[in-house]
Structure 1
Amino acid sequence: MRFSMVITKLVYTITLGLFLITASLLQAQEAQQQAHKAPLSKLELESGDSIVFLGDSITHQCLYTQYVEDFFYTRYPKMRLKFHNAGVGGAKAWDALVRFDRDVAAYKPKYVTILLGMNDGQYQPFNEEIFQTYYSDMKELITKIEAINAKPILMTPTMFDARAARMGKRKRDPSAVELYNSVLAYYGTWLREVAAESGFGFVDMYGPLNNITIAARQKDPDFTIIRDAVHPDAPGQVVMAFALLSDMNVKRQVSRITISEKANGEPVATARGGKLTDLAYDDDGVSFTWLADSLPWVVPEEAQLGAELTKLGHRMSQEALSIHGLPAGRYELTIDGEVAGQYSNTTLAQHIELQGNSKTPQYQQAMKVALLNKERNNGPVKNKRNSWRTFQQFARLKRELDAQEGEKNTQKLEGLKKQLTTQEKTIQESEAAALALEDKIYEVNQPVARKYVLKKVAAGKKQK
C-alpha cells in the first residue's frame, strides 16, 4: 500500500514537472514569436525629421544622397527635412564607430542609412576572420543607432564590377577580381537577414546595379556604370537612389488628371496630386488651371542615363494626363504659353506622361532645384566630408600607436592633431553655407498654378 502511494506521488511529480517544463517552453516560444518585428517598409516623415546617410567613399561622392534629397525636395515641398551626409572615403565599419557621436548622433536622426562593406572585405576572396570583424563592428554600430532612438536602414554593399576592373589600368589580384563581387553578395545577404529579423529597414543596392549591368551588356559587352570597378558613376548612383526610395516605398506618383465630357456636354475632371480649376471643354480642345502638390523628380544631365535605365520618371514620378472624347485630330498642348508637344486624340485618351518632358515649366522648375542641390553637394557638403578624412587618418594612426609597445613615433599623429583643431570650424562654416543654399531650394521648389491649354492644330482623317 505504502509502495503504491509512493509510486503514485512519483508519477504525479514527474507529470507535473513535465507539464511545467512544457508550459515554460511554450511560453518562451510564444514570447520569442511575439518579439519578432516586421521589417521597416516605409519612411514615416514630417517636417524637422533628420536622415543621416552613413557610409564610405561611395557616400562621400555626394551623388546618390543628392538624388534622394532631390526627390524629397520636389515630392514634399512643404515638408522641410534635414539631411546629413556622413560618408568618408576609405571608411570601414570601425571608422564609423569612432566618429559616430559627432558625425551621426549629433544630428539627432530619425533614420540612419548604412552603406558599408566595400572596404571591409579588403578586396580579396572571402576571409572568415575579416568577415567576423565586419560582423562585430556592424552589430555594435546598429546598437549605437538604436541607442539614440534612430531606425537603422541597412543597405547592401554595391557592385564590384570585375569586367571594369579587368579593363582598367590598375593592377589587381586576379582571384580577388574574380571573387570580390560574390564576397559583397555574401555581406549583403547577411545584412538582409539582420534587417528582417530585427525589424530594420533594408535596401538592396547590389541587385539593381548587377541586373542593369548584365542586361545592358547583352547589347554592349563593355557597358559599365562603375568605371573604376568600385565607385558607381552618376548614372549608377541614380540606380542606387532609385533602389533606396523604391525599397522604402515612397510616394511614386506626382499627379494623374483625367478629363472627359458628360452626355449633356458638361466637362468633368478627376485629379490626384493637386487642385484643378477653370475647366473648359469644347470641340477645339480643353483648358484648365492646375496647382500641383509637388514637382517631378529630375536629375542633372550627367545622371540622365540612370534615369533611363531605371525608367525613373514612369516608375517613380509619373505626371499622367488623359483627355477623353476629343474629336479626331492632333492637338497642341501649351503650359503657361510654352509648347509642351503635339498629340493625337487617341494618344490623349490613353494618357500622356509629362514628367520627363523638359519643355514643361514644372520640369524646368524641378531642374533648378536639382542644380541648386548639386551646387550644395559639390561645395559645402563635400567640403565638410573632406574634413573628416583627416579625423579618420588620426583615429587609425592612434589605434595603431596604442597597439604598439615600447617607444612610439608620434610626430605624424601630432601633425594630424593640429589639423583637427580647425575641423569644427570647417564643419560649422560648411553647414551654414549648405543651409543657405537649402533656403534657396525651398524658395524654388514651391509649386505654382499652371495654365494648360490644349488646342486642335490638325483635323483627323474622316472615317469611311
Structure 2
Amino acid sequence: MSYSLIRKKLVCVVALILFSQAFNVAQAQEAQQQVHKTPLAKLDLKSGDSIVFLGDSITHQCLYTQYVEDFFYTRYPHMRLKFHNAGVGGAKAWDALARFDRDVAAYKPKYVTILLGMNDGQYQPFNEAIFQTYYKDMKELITKIESIGAQPILMTPTMFDARAARLEKRKRNPASVELYNSVLAYYGTWLREVAAESGFGFVDMYSPLNNITLIARQKDPTFTIIEDAVHPDPPGQVVMAYALLSDMNVQRQVSRINISKKANGEPTATARGGKLTDLKFNEDGVSFTWLSKSLPWVVPAEAQLGAELTKLGHRMSQESLSIHNLPAGRYELSIDGQVVGQYSNIALARHIELQSNAKTPQYQQAMEVALLNKERNDGPVKNKRNSWRAFQTYARIKRELDAQTGQKDEQKAARLKKLEMQLKSQEKTIQESEAASLALEDKIFKANQPVARKYVLKKVVAQKKKK
C-alpha cells in the first residue's frame, strides 16, 4: 500500500473521530440547555392575591367557582383573596382573547384557571381543522396570561354526557352524541401535555365526572349530574370544585384533636388546627374549649349530592375528635350547649368526624358563609357576567365584518352599531356589580371568623325500664 493512500486513510479516520467528538459535545451541550420544568404542584397564596376563573358557560354558571370560593372563605378566614369569574356562555378560546385585557389582565391575577374546549370542538366528531383552531387560540391565550406575570392552570373540558343527550327530546347528530365525549378527552390530553412540558398547573375535570357517573350507573342506569349533557348541575359542579382543589393540593384537614390520660391520670391533649384550653377529664366525661383556625367546607342544599359523591368532608375538610380512656358506655356530645350526637366510648377512642354534622355550630356558621356567597354569585357576580354576552356577540360580528372585502353586510353592520350603543353602559354595570359583590364579601368576612367553642362530653345514664 502506498504512503499517500495510508495518509489519506489516516486523515479520514482522524476526521471521523473529530466529527464524532464534536457531535457528542454538541449533544451534551444541548442536553445541558434543556431544562425540564416542574408542573405547578400547589397554590401559593397570600392576602391580596387574585385568582381569575376564565371559561365558557360552565364557568358563567357561577357554581364550581362559588364552591371553590367557599373553600377559601372557610379554610383561610384570615386571608382575603380576590376572585374574579371570567366565564361567558358560548365562549371559545378566541372569545377569551377578545375580552382578555378588560376581563382578565385588569384584575392582575396570580393564577388564571382556564376551562375552554366544550364549544371549541363544535359538538361534532373529531375534526383536525377545528382542533388546530383551538390549538392556535389556546397557545396564544396561554402566552398572553404569561405575559401579564400570571400562572396558567389548564383544566380539561368537562364531560359530555351522551346518555343524557340521548334522553333529551332535542334531536342531535347520532355520531356527535356517540363521539363527542372522546373528542373532549383528546383536547384534555393535549392540555395535560402542554401543562407538563411548560410547568403550568393542570386540573383533570373530565375523569372525576366520568368515573362518578359510571359508578353511579351501576345502581341507577338513568343517573346523571349533567342533565342537559353539557352543563354540570350543582352536584356536578361540586365534583369540579373538588377536582380543582384536590389537584392543586390545598390544605385538606380542618382540625385533629386527640385527648387521653397520662400514666398518673392527668388529662393530656394533642391538637392541630387550633388551640385547646380548659381541658377537664372525669369519669362522667370530658370538657374543653376549642378555638379552631378555620371552618369546615360546606355547600348549599342543592349541591349536597356532590359532597356525598366526592366524600367531600372526609377528604377535604376533616374535623377529627378522638378521646381515649373513657369508661365503657355511650356519651352525649354538645358544643356551645347544642347536642350534636351520641357516641360509644369505642367510637370516640377510634375517632369521630364532625365536619358534615349539620348540628354543630361551626357547620351552621360555615353554611351562613356559603349562603352569603351564593347570594353574591347569584346576584352581582352573575349580573356582571351577563354584561359580557353582548360584548362577545359584538366581537364576533366585528371580526366577520373586518374579514369581508368590498361591500359590508348591512344587517350585521347595523347590529354592530346597536351593540356598540348597548356596550356604552357596560363599564358602569361592571363597577356597580363589583361594588355590590364587595359589600357581600365584607359580610362574608364577618361571618367566617372562627370563635371559641365549648365542648362537653357526658356519659348517658341509661334510664330504668318502667315495670
TM-score of the pair, normalised by structure 2: 0.96
CA deviation after TM superposition for structure 1 residue 38, in Å: 1.1
Local SS of the residue matching 1:251: coil
- Distance in 1 (CA, whole Å) between partners of 2:9 and 2:202 is 58
* Alignment-mate amino acid for residue 65 of structure 2: T
Cα pair 1:142 1:152 within 8 Å, conserved: yes
User: In the alignment, is residue 426 of structure 1 matched against residue 429 of structure 2?
Assistant: yes
Using the TM superposition, give the Cα deviation of residue 16 of structure 1 relative to its aligned residue in structure 2, in angstroms.
2.2
**Cα displacement string for residues 399-437 of structure 1 (whole angstroms, at most 9, x for unaligned residues):** 111112222211100000111101111111111111111
Q: Which residue of the other structure, out of 3, 10, 21, is the alignment partner of 2:23?
A: 21
Deviations, residues 81-127 of structure 1 (Å, cap 9, x unaligned): 01000000000000001111111111111110000000000000110
Displacement of 1:19 in angstroms is 1.0
Q: Which residue of 1 aligns with 2:83?
A: 83
Deviation at 1:459, TM superposition (A): 5.5
**How many angstroms apart in 1 are the aligned matches of 2:185 and 2:12?**
57
Q: Secondary structure at the match of 2:219?
A: coil
Deviation at 1:14, TM superposition (A): 3.7
For 1:444, the equivalent position in structure 2 comes to: 447
Deviation, 1:8, is: 4.4
Equivalent residue number for residue 226 of structure 1: 226
1:128-139 equivalent positions in 2, closer than 5 A: 128-139=128-139
Name the count of aligned residue pairs: 459
Counterpart check, 1:158 vs 2:158 = yes
Q: Which one-letter code corresponds to 1:412 in the other structure?
A: R
Task: Return the letter of the residue paired with 2:171.
Answer: K
Instruction: After TM superposition, give the deviation of residue 457 of structure 1 in Å.
Output: 1.2
Aligned positions of 1:20-59 closer than 5 A: 20-32=22-34, 35-59=35-59
Distance 2:171 2:321 in 1: 53
Mapped partners of 1:406, 1:27: distance in 2: 55
Q: Does 1:96 align with 2:96?
A: yes
Structure 1 vs Structure 2 CA RMSD: 1.4
Partner of 2:455, secondary structure, is: strand
For 2:8 and 2:222, the matched residues in 1 are separated by 84
Cα separation, 2, equivalents of 1:368 and 1:435 = 17
Q: What's the offset of the Cα at 1:197?
A: 1.0
Contact 1:225-1:233 within 8 A present in 2 as well: yes
Note if 1:376 corresponds to 2:353. no
Deviations 1:145-189 (A, max 9, x none): 111111111000000001111111211111101110111011111
For 1:115 and 1:428, locate their aligned partners in 2 and report how far apart those are by CA, in whole Å: 25
Matches within 5 A, 1:208-223: 208-223=208-223
Instruction: Please give the TM-score of this superposition, normalised by the length of structure 1.
Output: 0.97
Aligned positions of 1:60-459 closer than 5 A: 60-408=60-408, 409=410, 410-458=413-461
Compute the displacement of 1:31 (Å). 1.7
SS at match of 2:454: strand
- Three-state SS of the structure 2 residue aligned to 1:327 is coil
Percent identity between the two aligned chains: 79
1:328 touches 1:459 (CA, 8 Å); kept in 2? no
Unmatched 5+ residue regions in structure 2? none
Secondary structure at 2:47 match in 1: coil
The separation in 1 between residues aligned to 2:292 and 2:127, in whole angstroms, is: 53
- C-alpha separation between the residues in 2 aligned to 1:176 and 1:287? 62
Whole-angstrom distance in 1 between the partners of 2:339 and 2:24: 76
Kindly state the Cα deviation for residue 7 of structure 1 after the two structures are TM-superposed: 5.3
Change (3 A) 1:290 1:255: same
Partner Cα separation in structure 2 for residue 169 and residue 3 of structure 1 = 87
What amino acid is the match of 1:16?
A: L
Conserved in 2, the CA contact under 8 Å of 1:329 and 1:459? Answer: no
- The offset of 1:5, in angstroms, is 5.6
Structure 1 residues 329-374: Cα deviation after superposition (integer angstroms, max 9, x where no partner): 1111110011111111111111110000011000000000000000
Q: Which runs of 5 or more residues in structure 1 are unaligned?
A: none
- Paired residue secondary structure (1:340): strand
